[in-house]
A and B are shown apart, each in its own frame.
Chain A
Amino acid sequence: MRVSGAPAGFEEVYLRYASRLRKIAVRKFSIPVAEAETLVHDVFATYFMHAASVHAVEPYLIGAICNASRHYMRRSDAADALFCGETPCAATPSDALLDEVARKLLLSRMLAGVGSRCRELLRRYYWNGDTTKAIADTLDSTPGTILVYLHKCRRRALTAYRALSEIS
């Protein structure tokens, strides 16, 4: 679902790295989730402005979220944040974090293969945090039936996940 007019390259970079940058801000610098979202936004806003002059996107973005997080914490001012003392940046994600990001991307692709009804049900239950009763009310159903649907959708998800895991 690309926003019309946005260069494809920008969207690709955003989708590839946004999740990693959020994790770095939250896990490595203990930035609150909502604030991390703002930092990720600001890092991309600066990157888009001079994307053509960035030679290596991944280390640039990691260095940028590292500096933005440090700047946010006000441990140092922006000039000092330029040199966080480590090369490569201390915020360089660990294998565990990269594995988690990869797993979530796989889950995301899996959700594309479970059908729109299941996807909507899982989205409401897991992401929105809607209760089975709330979902049942809007679907003119019962919480018990929703639990059954959820179970079926999880099974579909598992099948799709296994298929994708085998491919990747």
Chain B
Amino acid sequence: MDHIPENELAIFAFDPDAMPEPRRSVINRHTAECASCRSTLDFFAVAEDDLSDVDVWEPMMGSATREALMTYAARIADEDREAEELLQPLFDAPAQAAWLNLNTKRRFLSGGVARCLSAHAHSICQNEPLDALTFADAAISVAEALPDDNYPANAIYEVRGTAWKERANAQRFLGQFPEAIESLSRAERAYKHLASPSLGLSAVAYVRACVFCDQQRLDEAAAMAERAEHGFAHLGDDDRRMTALFLRAVIKFEARDIGDAASLFRQVIAYAESMNNSLWIARGSDALGNCEVHRGNLGEASMHFHKALTLFREVGSASELIRTEWGIANVLLHGGKQSEAIRRLRDVAAEFETLGMITDAALVRLDLVDALLALGQTRQIVDVASRLFRVFTDAGMLTGALTALAYLREAASAGTLTPDGVQSVRSFLRQAERQPALLFVPPPSENR
């Protein structure tokens, strides 16, 4: 078979009508049967079209968009590098940062400084929220002082939105909930200036859900957590999506909707297993264990806790490990093995205190009080309450928690303490950790 010359195929591919008859029909018939000529024709046909496309030429020849973006990327990298050097002394001495009006000093006026301050605030907001607030405020002052057109595509609003979000995070950990909500509104407004605000808005929804949950506004928290989960899923960010899903489950648990909470925790575990992510398997298992304790399924609870314990030993933090041991002690407590439970709860509380986690230690000791109450050992409850009072005072936690602990001690001494009374102290301590200004009011039955 005689093949069609490539020059003819090229002309035919570009414009079949340019090929006179009967040659056009010959080429048509031949390429229908000859795979080799057909693939050459296909190449020319596609190439004619494709070679006019910027995508084909851009990797080699560049483009205005590429040039502009790479210049911009280089600028961001330079700004970040300079900001890190400039800010390190302030990160080492946070108090100094509070006194410096960074936005009035020219060398600090850059997007890199704002980004670096926000990132640092984020990294310390859980353990040092007051310092995080200082740095987030500084980030805001710098970001807001920069001109709106500092970057192309309104990207300055990404910097501003993130600075406000970090302020909200710090305020949340300081228990300044209304202020945190206001900061989140500012973050949201900033992000909405962007062409693609999804990540920022999803993060805002997540933090808002956390704040609402801390405020016990559980319906609003659930709606926000779902919004965040949806947003992260849309961006294919499975890790953040799991964090939002876990939060949704926690909110259900807080609302004592244990069935739904357990179902969501199972989803977390299923995802984590599919990703071979031991940490999330452990977190999900620990949380599921707590659900089963509430449902009275102690055998299952024990199984989940032991699974979590094994994994946390490999990948978890010390506090997560202790928290799971706390769950196991609770299984024993609810299973009627009070003496063993009491021994373990004392160990767990001591471990939390060693880590400086005073509120968690107190919550464990309240479980201990439950056990002692069941055994009628009120004298020991007075000792536990006195010890808690001393620990809180020594730690400088001179909040409404002291009033709650004083109530616990006095009610135990008077023999009027009930499981509901212990529960009211427990609920208060959990809230007071984030809201130091909260006042303790004894439960109605004890208050008469």
Interface, chain A (partner B; CB < 8 A): 1-7, 10-11, 14-15, 18-19, 22-23, 37, 39-50, 52-56, 58-60, 62-65, 67-68, 71-72, 77-79, 81-84, 86-89, 101, 103-105, 107-109, 111-112, 119, 122-123, 126-127, 129, 151, 154-155, 157-158, 161
Contacts and interface: CB of A to CB of B under 8 A. Distances in A.
Given A18-B58, A65-B196, A71-B195, A11 B231 contact: no
Given A55-B239, A83-B227, A78 B192 contact: yes
B363 interface: no
Contact of B65 (A40, A46, A47): A40
A136 to B, nearest CB: 18
A125 to B, nearest CB: 8
B158 A105 contact: no
Given A105-B59, A151-B7, 18 more contacts: A7-B74, A18-B55, A37-B65, A42-B152, A42-B154, A45-B151, A45-B155, A49-B111, A55-B240, A56-B237, A64-B195, A64-B199, A68-B196, A78-B197, A84-B234, A103-B50, A127-B51, A154-B10
Contact of A48 (B47, B73, B192, B227): B73
A42 B195 contact: yes
Chain B contact patch, size range: 35 or more
Interface string B73-86: 11111100000000
Given A82-B198, A158-B40, A56 B6 contact: no
Contact of B70 (A3, A67, A82): A3
B17 interface: no
Kindly name the residue among B50, B227, B238 whose own CB sees the greatest number of chain A CB atoms within 10 A.
B50
A31 to B, nearest CB: 12
Q: What is the predominant secondary structure among interface residues of chain B facing chain A?
A: helix
Given A42-B153, A45-B153, A127-B51, A87 B10 contact: no
A151 to B, nearest CB: 5
User: Which of B78, B191, B227, B233 has the most CB atoms of chain A within a 10 A radius of its CB?
Assistant: B233
A46 B196 contact: yes
Contact of B234 (A14, A72, A87): A87
Contacts of A126: 48, 51-52
Contacts of A123: 57, 61
Contacts of A89: 234, 236
Mostly, the A contact residues are helix
29 contacts: A1-B60, A3-B70, A4-B74, A6-B69, A10-B73, A11-B70, A18-B58, A42-B152, A42-B154, A42-B195, A45-B153, A48-B72, A50-B200, A55-B238, A63-B234, A67-B195, A71-B195, A71-B196, A79-B201, A87-B233, A103-B50, A107-B47, A107-B51, A107-B56, A108-B56, A112-B60, A123-B57, A126-B52, A158-B43
